[in-house]
Amino acid sequence: MTAPRFYGSDSLNVATYDQRTVPAADGPLAADIAFYIDLGRHVGGPVLDLGCGTGRVAWPLARAGFEVVGLDRSPHMLARAESKRADVPEEVSGRVQSSRVTCALSPFRGVSGWR
């Protein structure tokens, strides 16, 4: 189990997560969002984003038209994800639900990430 301080409100990990994981145009993460969108189109929705963190994958999936349920153990990472809700149109915002959980058992047809 990850130490709670790693995901605490004052943690360097939480504060810099988006900057460290934003896909660079030619970096190793450049294709992951497109991959998850293509996978979602192949299997259908809704999509469960386990370990959704700051919503780096969940929000682009919602913009692409998917209903997304984001689950994470860290309330501080989820707070960052929720703060992005103000930056998207209402129709996109309504496609994303997020919750703090330690265990999830539910039927979904697509999984966008596993951390």
Q: Are 108 and 80 in contact (CB under 8 A)?
A: no
The string of pLDDT tens digits covering residues 18-56 is 766 666 556 666 678 888 999 999 988 899 898 898 898
Tell which CATH classification among 3.90.1150.10, 3.40.50.1000, 3.40.50.150, 3.10.450.50 matches the domain 45-115: 3.40.50.150
Q: Indicate the pTM of the whole model.
A: 0.73
CA distances from 16 to 20, 64, 107 (A): 6, 26, 32
The string of pLDDT tens digits covering residues 50-104 is 889 889 889 999 999 999 999 998 888 899 899 999 999 999 999 998 888 776 5
Beta bridge partners of 100: 72
